[in-house]
Structure 1
Amino acid sequence: MSDAPQAASLALATLHDQLDLLHRRAGSPSVRALARLTGPLLSHDTVHRVLRTRSVPSWTSLEPVVRALDGDPEQFRELWTAARDSSQTSEEQHSQPVTAHPAGPAGRQQAVRLRRDRHSFSDQLSPEERRDLRQLGVIRSFRPRELLARQGEPAGPVTLLVQGFVKLTASSPAGYETLLRLGTPGDLLLAERALTGRPAGSTVQALGPVEALLIPNERFRTFLADHPPASMALARTLSDELAAANARRTREAGTAMARVCAALVDLADSFDLSGDDTAGLLLPLGQSDIAALCGVSLRTCSRVMEQLRYEGVVGSTRSRLRILDVVRLRNLSATVW
């Protein structure tokens, strides 16, 4: 084993060893008892994952557990930072992500990570602002396919995605469903409910296990008033979402092939594909999702996807999309108008 994986393994083991020791010193309380000790912050499922899953938990999940066990947050922050940084270094040097797929004839393994130049709402906040925001809400876990919000329901909490991926969809009065976008960690969802008091404008569904910070609307409005830079970050986020929506509208005049390819490029551009011309990127989206994203019929989308599969650009099943050649997709989206 080379130095990077050894360091990552040691740092992670140290973090969990110290957490196990702290748990025993506190009398080994059950996960449900610990969840109650965190107040409304964590569910017992989240506490279980923090204690039992041998991976690097999010700090927003780990810190309340440490405090509930009467531990030293500063000590565990250092241990957590070392485990997180070592894990990222190991992934970057050896390209062995949690989700990886062979691409091209050589069957190379590609890292599937969010782009480093991507700036979510959370990315734009300072550490102090993120800490203050974290204290306003409660972390909740969602199962795959569980709804975080339903279009048209009365105003509910603002949602900050902590871990996992969601899809945002909207249905017309005639019953046609449109996939608006994917939500990724750090994204702020349904902020319009806090700003306008209107019902949810979209349905938010988990694409896998998800953790989200749920923030009451009044607390979120107060947070924005007390933190002007966060208000600017929200304005930039909403502006970016509007620009992306406008870009999708301009593509509606293109052919079905152009619209599908451009939508797939948008999805791929959310991820770091390690700079290669081709990369295997697997997303939990079926053809119905792609059709809804592009505004084409399922039959038309199936025909386009069949051609793209034949050309080796994508691979897909009923509920999974694999993007194999981003460069080819980009060229197709730009040349078939």
Structure 2
Amino acid sequence: MRGARGDPGEDGVAWPQESFLGRLRSSEREELLALAGHATYEPQSHLILEGDEGGFVTFVYSGQVKVVVQADGGDEHLLGIRAKGSLLGELSYTDGNRRSASVVAVTQVRAASVSWEKFDGYLRSHPQLAMEVARVIATRLRASDESHREIRSHAVPARVAKLLFSLTDDFDERFAQWGAVIHLSQAELAQLVHAAEVTVNRVLGEFRRRQIVRTTYRKIVIPCVICLDRLATALSADPKDDRKDIVGCGGTQPHGSA
């Protein structure tokens, strides 16, 4: 959708430019992936287990994964979504401690894993790329800070709209010409926006009535990303205005809502 895609390398893959793999030169990326063991994971399969000792970093080649931790009582709590080009397991690699979270496939995922020893050798050969590992950690810390600021400054409808819009970059399944399909349950969406599930369900109900979203089992369909963007921008600009005048086109207009 709005996220820029990099130029395809010799493997013919266009990586998101702001992803870890997308920021590497083609030659650097190909050298790195040549060190990796490749695997395919079906939905709900674990790529990384919380509490494990680690020993490898993983790169998402295709598909989407979720990062989860075990909350009190044994329930999973969703921390975030990672997609194509993402580096996983960077915290354990950096500090040598056990895994702080699990990584679970949301859709079918192809991933490549490199042992810490091989990754050490790769970074010694390309010392400038150690900054890219640091950039991944810094970006995620900043995102966490921004999320906490939005809790204080934005109402739940604005947070839901902004998050859904950002997720259209991560999920590559399309709906019609201008839409996207986000493979998350409403409960998981509530965890990501730090709001009660009943509140998020009520917000989604309003968005459905305005043709901004459609919901099915464990999926949120965005008929027109352009209409969602208009709503997210308006709600963020004035959190006290629910902007009921913004109604989605339902995916029927080629340029969003008139």
Using structure 1 for the length normalisation, give the TM-score.
0.60
Please name the residue that 1:214 is paired with: 113
C-alpha separation between the residues in 2 aligned to 1:174 and 1:262?
30
Displacement after TM superposition at 1:135 (Å):
2.6
Contact 1:257 1:333 in 2 (8 A): no
Structure 2, gaps ≥5 residues long: 1-7, 241-258
* 1:329 aligned partner, one-letter code: A
Please state if 1:225 is matched with 2:148: no
Please name the residue that 1:259 is paired with: 159
Displacement after TM superposition at 1:332 (Å):
2.1
What secondary structure does 1:285 align onto?
coil
Please name the residue that 1:329 is paired with: 232
Q: Deviations over 1:82-140 (max 9, x none)?
A: xx7xxx9xxxxxxxxxxxxxxxxxxxxxxxxx8x6x41111111222212212322001
C-alpha separation between the residues in 2 aligned to 1:169 and 1:284?
15
Displacement after TM superposition at 1:272 (Å):
9.0
1:97-108 pair list within 5 angstroms: none
Please name the residue that 2:41 is paired with: 142
Using structure 2 for the length normalisation, give the TM-score.
0.77
Question: How many corresponding residue pairs?
Answer: 226
Contact 2:168 2:182 in 1 (8 A): no
C-alpha separation between the residues in 2 aligned to 1:335 and 1:139?
47
What secondary structure does 1:329 align onto?
helix
C-alpha separation between the residues in 2 aligned to 1:331 and 1:296?
20
C-alpha separation between the residues in 2 aligned to 1:266 and 1:284?
13
Structure 1 vs Structure 2 CA RMSD: 2.8
Contact 2:180 2:222 in 1 (8 A): yes
* 2:205 aligned partner, one-letter code: E
Contact 1:177 1:292 in 2 (8 A): no
Cα 1:336–1:284 shift into 2, 3 Å: same
* 2:162 aligned partner, one-letter code: A
C-alpha separation between the residues in 1 aligned to 2:182 and 2:164?
11
Cα 1:282–1:220 shift into 2, 3 Å: same
Q: Deviations over 1:14-53 (max 9, x none)?
A: xxxxxxxxxxxxxxxxxxxxxxxxxxxxxxxxxxxxxxxx
Identity between Structure 1 and Structure 2 (%):
27
Structure 1, gaps ≥5 residues long: 1-57, 60-76, 89-113
Please name the residue that 1:249 is paired with: 148
Displacement after TM superposition at 1:229 (Å):
2.2
Please name the residue that 2:198 is paired with: 299
Structure of higher CA gyration radius: 1
* 1:263 aligned partner, one-letter code: L
